[in-house]
Amino acid sequence: MFKKILIANRGEIAVRILKACRELGIPAATVYSEADREALHVVSSPEAHLIGPAPALKSYLNMAEIIRVARSCGADAIHPGYGFLAENAGFAGACAGAGIAFIGPGPEAIAQMGLKVQSRRLAREAGVPVVPGSGGALETLAEARAQASRLGYPVMLKASAGGGGIGLQLVLREENLERAYKTCRERAAAGFGNPGVYLEKYIARPRHVEIQVFADKQGNVIYLGERECSVQRRHQKIMEESPSPLADDVLRARMGEDAVRLAGSIGYLGAGTVEFLVDDAKNHYFLEMNTRLQVEHPVTETVTGIDLVIEQIRVAAGCPLSVRQEDVKIKGHSLECRLYAEDPSNFRPSTGVLEEARFPAAEKIRVDRGVQRGYRVTPYYDSLLAKVISRGDTREESLDLMRDALKEIKITGVKTNIDLLIKVIAHPEFRKGNLSTDFIERFAGCLLGRASSGKAVGN
Ligand code: MV4
């Protein structure tokens, strides 16, 4: 096992990883920027090292400095958390080069999944259904035209180096293709330094369902059920649950086996997530693979009883997976709500000092928080304050527990999205499990207390 783990992250996930290290009896150290001197992950860490000024490029993304700290403090492993350096193949390679274990997959797996045209090809080769689309990146507008006609409108243009919503363009008609093609290329170049774009057939009102996979060095690959992540705003998830109200045993097994084949085909190691779009007819299509621990991992932990961070550390150290596929049982239901410091009227981060920060404590409620009273929300980092996770025997119970827990939270000093979360849980369509990726937009009228735009985001 590792002698010491350096946690190269901040906020709730750094606190979460500290807990896993404590439970395993492994000494841990954290890093922090000048803006985080009094942050929760620093004050609750047995050892913390200043790595630079507030801007992430100078601190949490400063690879050389993080590796230097790991060496000097005697850490033989680095946990990157999510975001920052978690999916940076160069960083994973640099750790290996310095003789430090990167707690995650190898640099090749990270790089292969980082390019979407490549990950689509790997999925296809592994026999995983992908959305019909252009084979590779498009070289010219003429090629885009030809491919779009072949697929049939509407189509989506996506950035090959992308992921998330950056560059994404819905194209309803051929006359709008030229403009969308140029915009997508420009955004891809500006956002990712790579202007490559590709085309996919548009899936109307899809649901976002993802499979948690896990692999060890012995060649075992398993899946730990699915997470439904359809409630999003501006391509950022705000609520996730497991199991998905849409999934039955057949769909779960199909998606799970597909995800496992893909991970196995690239020699994956550790925790990974295979994202799918699911259409009205319950067809699933590979979207992308995230080669890291996800923000929403607690709902999977809650319904499987498996600690994913402990498991990550164990398999990185060469231990075999602690469970076999046939022993994985999904029990009950879990919902996660992400608590953001943000202005509900425009979803923009709300900065300021937390005058009060009180969270509920209850047996069936877990709170993963990264902040305490007195914490200053700055524009430098993501404005996620905490995650609230409920555990019920049924979806109904889990939703009721969450509603009561959210009502107990008291945060003052910044604006938050708590009221929005409470309204979503109370919404009859959410209760029924009628979710879709445009849920917030579709019900904006009653959720946000303003008129729903009703407009299609597209060209
Ligand atoms: C799509 C799609 C419909 N059809 N692809 C958005 C983020 C990026 N990772 C993929 N996204 C989408 N790709 C096809 N062919 C709809 C979306 C999409 C979406 C997907 C998941 C969660 C939320 C979403 C919100 C809007 C659009």
Confidence of residue 136 (pLDDT cuts 50, 70, 90): confident
pLDDT in tens, 34-74: 999 999 999 999 999 999 999 999 999 999 999 999 999 99
pLDDT, residue 447, reads 86
Report pLDDT digits (tens) over 72-95: 999 999 999 999 999 999 999 999
Q: How far is the CA of 257 from the centre of ligand 1 (A)?
A: 22
Output the six-digit token pair for 421.
Answer: 């979360």
In this prediction, residues 262-280 reach a mean pLDDT of 97
Q: How much of the chain, in percent, has pLDDT values that exceed 90? A: 88
Report phi then psi at 170, rounded to 5.
-90, 130
Per-residue pLDDT of 214-241, as tens digits, reads 999 999 999 999 999 989 998 899 999 9
Mutate to test the pocket of ligand 1, among 437, 441, 442, 457 (most ligand atoms within 8 A of CB): 437
pLDDT, tens only, 142-186: 999 999 999 999 999 999 887 778 889 999 999 999 999 999 999
Sheet harboring 221-233: ordered strands across? Answer: 284-290, 270-278, 207-215, 221-233, 236-242, 333-340, 384-392, 365-369
In short, whether 156's Cβ falls inside 6 Å of ligand 1 is yes
Model confidence at 450, in pLDDT bands (50, 70, 90)?
low
Structure tokens at 267: 């020699």
Phi, psi at 222, each rounded to 5°: -130, 165
Protein residue with its CA nearest to atom 14 in ligand 1 = 202
Amino acid at residue number 391: R
Positive or negative CA dihedral for 97, 90, 383, 35?
A: positive
Give the pLDDT confidence score for residue 41 in this predicted structure: 98
How far apart are alpha carbons 443 and 152 in whole angstroms? Answer: 29
Compute CA distances 253 → 221, 280, 301, whole Å.
14, 18, 18
Is the CB of 202 within 6 Å of ligand 1? Answer: yes
**Is-catalytic flag, 145?**
no
Q: Is residue 458 very low, low, confident or very high in pLDDT (cuts 50, 70, 90)?
A: very low
How many other CB atoms are found less than 10 A from the CB of residue 321?
18
When the pLDDT of each residue in the chain is averaged and rounded to a whole number, the result is 95
3-class SS string, the chain: CCCCEEECCCHHHHHHHHHHHHHHCCCEEEEEEHHHCCCHHHHCCCCEEEEECCCHHHCCCCHHHHHHHHHHHCCCEEECCCCCCCCCHHHHHHHHHCCCEECCCCHHHHHHHHCHHHHHHHHHHCCCCECCECCCCCCCHHHHHHHHHHHCCCEEEEECCCCCCCCCEEECCHHHHHHHHHHHHHHHHHHHCCCCEEEEECCCCCEEEEEEEEECCCCCEEEEEEEEEEEEECCEEEEEEECCCCCCHHHHHHHHHHHHHHHHHCCCCEEEEEEEEECCCCCEEEEEEECCCCCCHHHHHHHHCCCHHHHHHHHHCCCCCCCCHHHCCCCCEEEEEEEEEEECCCCEECCEECCEEECCCECCEEEEECCCCCCEECCCCCCEEEEEEEEECCHHHHHHHHHHHHHHCEEECCCECHHHHHHHHHCHHHHCCCCCCCHHHHCHHHHCCCCCCCCCCCC
User: Closest Cα to atom 24, ligand 1: which residue?
Assistant: 437
Atom of ligand 1 nearest to the CA of 232: 23
Average pLDDT over every residue of 413-437:
95
Candidates 77, 82, 71; CA nearest to 26 is 77
Q: Which residue among the candidates 10, 233, 292, 369 is catalytic per the annotation?
A: 292
What average pLDDT does the segment 367-390 reach?
98
Whether pLDDT at 457 is above 90: no
pLDDT(341) > 60: yes
Q: What is the model's pLDDT at position 452? A: 45
Looking at residue 446, what is its pLDDT? 84
Percent of the chain with pLDDT over 70: 98
Is the pLDDT assigned to residue 353 strictly greater than 90?
Answer: yes
CA 422/CA 420 separation, integer angstroms: 5
Neighbours of 400 (CB within 10 A): 14
Q: Report the residue among 131, 168, 284 best suited for mutation to probe ligand 1: largest number of ligand atoms under 8 A from its CB.
A: 168
Whole-structure pTM value: 0.95
pLDDT recorded at residue 442: 87
